[in-house]
Amino acid sequence: YLPDALAGLGVSASATFLDGETEVNGETLPLLNQAEKTYALTFFYQNHGVDASVSYAYNDSFLTDVNLADSDLDLYQGSFGRWDAKVSYELREDLKLFIEGVNLNDEPTSEFQGGSDSRVTEFEYVGRSVYLGFSFGF
């Protein structure tokens, strides 16, 4: 129902809510490598040879390593959310020029110990990445 220039606008959204646990040697633990909450939102435009999108994705913190002898040594990946964007233009059939930005908000990654996000064992800025190139489909 949009005019031709605006046809191709869209939005995509997803969310996952996980409630699970496992028992190991009598100890109840959250599921390994599984965030309880994740969600993503993408706005896009696809029309007249232009393919553009802006996305935000979020992962809640999650357990990555278990120390069965001492749960104070369990390791968790910290929560993070990042913005990504991509624009491509079809120069001719199957040949596109693109620019893509990943982690545009320079979101750091973190790791913490013992289930307490105040016990940080790693805090790393991985930076933004920008890619410029061509893609060819065959």
Q: Reduced to 3 DSSP states, what percent helix, strand and coil does the chain have, rounded to the nearest 5?
A: 0, 60, 35
| Spatial separation of the C-alpha atoms in residues 101 and 112, rounded to whole Å | 28
pLDDT for residue 45 is more than 90: yes
The pLDDT value given to residue 22: 87
| Spatial separation of the C-alpha atoms in residues 71 and 59, rounded to whole Å | 23
pLDDT tens digits, one per residue of 68-117: 888 889 999 999 999 999 999 999 999 999 999 999 999 999 999 988 88
Residues 65 and 74 sit within 8 Å (Cβ to Cβ): yes
Q: What's the one-letter identity of residue 89?
A: Y
Q: What percent of the chain has pLDDT over 70?
A: 99
pLDDT for residue 53 is more than 90: yes
What does the pLDDT average to over 39-48? 96
| Spatial separation of the C-alpha atoms in residues 131 and 87, rounded to whole Å | 11
